[in-house]
Amino acid sequence: MDNIFLALFLLTPFVLIAGLLKPDIFNRLTKKTLTRKRIGLIFGGLTLLFFILFGVTTDTSSVPQVTTQNKAVSGLNDNNTVKQGNSETEAVITNISSQKSDTNEAKQVQTEVIKVIRVIDGDTIEIAGGQKIRYIGIDTPETVHPSEPVGCYGVEASNKNKELVLNKDVRVERDISETDQYGRLLRYVYVGDLMVNEHLVREGYANSSSYPPDIKYQNRFTEAERLARDEGKGLWSSFCDSWEYSSTNTTIQPSTTNGGTFVCDCSKTCSKTISSCAEAQYLLNVCGCAARDGDKDGIACDSSPLNCQN
């Protein structure tokens, strides 16, 4: 019956339109003079009537099933509603668990695998394609900044970073921001199951450094730093107690390396005033004299008269 009323409900608007456009057709059929207004009232009323009759006669047999499912969903923690052995309720619970699982999987961050072709310093790398990545949530001492001095444990942090990721395929994970103000990608970096960001902090090569909104793992980094401090590792060891430097890269205290004493002086050149490859590498790695490595391969003065090679 409901199908009949549905058909009549859908048909009457078309009859109404036809009557309004050509009322003479109805006048001939009914042998009465009907105005457009009267035709509109008649068939408008019929349309409303058929709609009401269709709603009244519609089969409501599916309603109890919906009610049962809703009751089961809303009363998962109600022992009077969800009973062991009730197959219908168990099916609803299973469906809910599946939906939660799908939602959690959707929320999981997507990662990608890329190759590291160069380590710039302790917290910055370059990947295949030339893009640079800045590690999220940590900060290592400067080694290559043009206007800041080389920091204590900066060279060690850079070398450790090389040991962990250089020439390896690493997995990178994004937080909120895509890049920083310098255009570097912001990422968490993994070698296998090891998060490099956290490992550098835990071993004393870096400190925890929070820059909202990228703070997904900041609590982990803060705890890693606390443990490194308590254990006196790296930056928190006595090694840095006697570290002295000024505000420029050119007046760092002398250091003895490979039997020679070198003083930071970035005005020295490979072709004239640098005495040895050891001094050249010291100026590059410790003093941050980037000009001594024109081809950016990490080897100082390798194409000069000194012809330094690893």
Tens-digit pLDDT profile for residues 137-161: 999 998 877 667 788 888 999 999 9
Mean pLDDT of the chain: 76
Q: What is the pLDDT of residue 1?
A: 66
Phi, psi of 53 (to 5 degrees): -65, -35
* Residue 195: strand pairing partners: 190
Per-residue pLDDT tens for 96-105? 554 554 444 4
Q: What is the pLDDT of residue 87?
A: 53
The upper half-sphere exposure of residue 229, i.e. CA atoms within 13 Å in the direction of its Cβ, equals: 8
Q: What is the pLDDT of residue 265?
A: 77
Per-residue pLDDT tens for 287-296? 777 777 777 7
When pLDDT is averaged across residues 247-255 and rounded to a whole number, the result is 38
Cβ–Cβ under 8 Å, residues 304 and 270: yes
Per-residue pLDDT tens for 114-142? 999 999 999 999 999 999 999 999 999 98
How sure is the predictor about 219, in pLDDT bands with cuts at 50, 70 and 90? Answer: very high
Catalytic residue set: 134, 142, 184
Q: What is the pLDDT of residue 142?
A: 86
User: Is 187's pLDDT higher than 50?
Assistant: yes
Q: What is the pLDDT of residue 293?
A: 75
How sure is the predictor about 252, in pLDDT bands with cuts at 50, 70 and 90? Answer: very low
User: Is 297's pLDDT higher than 50?
Assistant: yes
When pLDDT is averaged across residues 18-46 and rounded to a whole number, the result is 73
What residue ranges do the domains of the chain occupy?
2-57, 63-107, 111-240, 250-310
User: Is 234's pLDDT higher than 50?
Assistant: yes
- Interstrand relation of 185-191 and 132-135 (parallel, antiparallel or unpaired): parallel
Q: What is the pLDDT of residue 29?
A: 72
User: Is 206's pLDDT higher than 70?
Assistant: yes
On whether the pTM is more than 0.75, the answer is no
Percent of the chain with pLDDT over 90: 36
Output 122-125 pairs: Cβ under 8 A, ≥24 positions apart: 122/154, 122/157, 122/158, 122/160, 122/161, 122/200, 122/205, 122/206, 123/157, 123/161, 123/200, 123/206, 124/184, 125/161, 125/165, 125/189
Q: Which letter does DSSP use for residue 211 in this model?
A: B
Q: What is the pLDDT of residue 250?
A: 35
When pLDDT is averaged across residues 54-69 and rounded to a whole number, the result is 54
Cβ–Cβ under 8 Å, residues 150 and 288: yes
How sure is the predictor about 2, in pLDDT bands with cuts at 50, 70 and 90? Answer: low
Closest CA to 290 of 154, 147, 144: 144
Instruction: Write the CB contacts of 28 (distance below 8 Å, at least 6 apart in sequence).
Output: none
Q: Is CATH 2.40.50.90 correct for 111-240?
A: yes
When pLDDT is averaged across residues 6-13 and rounded to a whole number, the result is 72
Instruction: Output the six-digit token pair for 204.
Output: 């004393």
Q: What is the pLDDT of residue 240?
A: 80
User: Is 64's pLDDT higher than 50?
Assistant: no
Q: What is the pLDDT of residue 49?
A: 79
How sure is the predictor about 65, in pLDDT bands with cuts at 50, 70 and 90? Answer: very low
Per-residue pLDDT tens for 258-286? 445 677 777 788 877 888 887 887 777 77
